[in-house]
Amino acid sequence: MKKTDLAKTLGISRATLYRWEKEGVLEQKLNELRKEREIVGQPADTEILLKEINEKLNMLQYVAKMLQDVLNMLQNVSNMLQDVAMSQNVSNMSHNVTDSLSQNVSIVPHNVAEKLQSVTDYFTASQLAKIVGVARRTINDWILEGRIQSAKLQGKNLIPKEEALKLIFKRVYDELNAINHYGDSVPVPVFKDAVKKKLNISDDEIEKTLLDLDTEEVLYLQTLDRPSDFSDSDRGIKFEGRILYFITWMKEKQK
């Protein structure tokens, strides 16, 4: 390397380089400068090393986050499978207990389990108690007495929707009879309005439930012979060319 280039590389003047050469200390000075450059270079090397470490840490944190996301997803899947398994196991419990035990513990009969198709297909004991205006304990007592069919999942009594509606409809029917003295012939339009004050339900669903209860002979829907005599006859149940207007709850089916 030319002395001019060497001087530039070392950061000294060419005159200094010539002076050191003349004094016979050029090699010594060059070695000293090299050592100084090595010491000065160490912090830069440390920065590079720290940067590499930080990059690896960031990568590990990213991998850890991905693994946590996977674990969360697996946990959600596990919870879903447990819920499915529980609902299936509960439906079979009635075959594995004695009759005396089933009188004191709410076990899911197979016909009740079939009604629990989704979360919207049942009422909790608390919800039903609030609607019919009784204490939750009363609902639980009725369940133990067998007056209401139910399932017990995760410590809660669950009443199938059609079973709950039967109880709600009976309560509304009794209240209307007591207040208005209908003589066990409650008008369907009045009944619909009273039911909708207690829960969010459509006319179509009320009519369907009433027809189902009529088929089960829980109640009797009477045909309106002269619709023109009633201004609200159009709000009766239109069925097979007739208008079913009065509800009579069958005495032998009362609980």
3-state secondary structure of 108: coil
What is d(CA 144, CA 150) in angstroms, rounded to the nearest whole number? 9
The b/e string for 87-122 (b: 16+ C-beta within 10 A; e otherwise) is: eeebbebeeeeeeeeeeeebbbbeebbebbeeeeeb
pLDDT at 2: 64
Tell me the pTM: 0.52
Centre a 10 Å sphere on the Cβ of residue 157 and count the other Cβ atoms it contains.
Answer: 22
What is d(CA 12, CA 174) in angstroms, rounded to the nearest whole number? 110
What is d(CA 105, CA 152) in angstroms, rounded to the nearest whole number? 9
pLDDT at 169: 93
Would you put residue 133 in left (φ > 0), alpha (ψ -120 to 50) or beta? left
The residue among 136, 118, 119, 140 whose CA lies nearest residue 127 is 136
- Looking up tokens 């499978």 gives 81
Kindly compute the dihedral angle of the four CA atoms of residues 182, 184, 190, 196, in this order, to the nearest 10 degrees: 130
Give pLDDT tens digits for 82-99. Answer: 766 665 554 454 444 434
Beta carbons of 38 and 18 less than 8 angstroms apart: no
CATH fold of 164-253: Arc Repressor Mutant, subunit A (1.10.10)
pLDDT at 107: 44
Give the pLDDT of the chain (255 residues) as one tens digit per residue.
666 666 666 667 777 767 877 787 777 877 877 777 665 545 556 667 677 777 777 778 777 877 887 777 787 677 667 766 665 554 454 444 434 334 434 444 545 555 555 556 788 888 899 998 999 899 889 998 888 888 877 777 888 888 999 999 999 999 998 998 888 889 999 999 999 999 999 999 999 999 999 999 898 898 888 877 788 888 889 888 888 888 999 886 444
Length of the chain: 255
Q: Where are the domains of the chain?
A: 3-62, 99-160, 164-253
What is d(CA 237, CA 220) in angstroms, rounded to the nearest whole number? 13
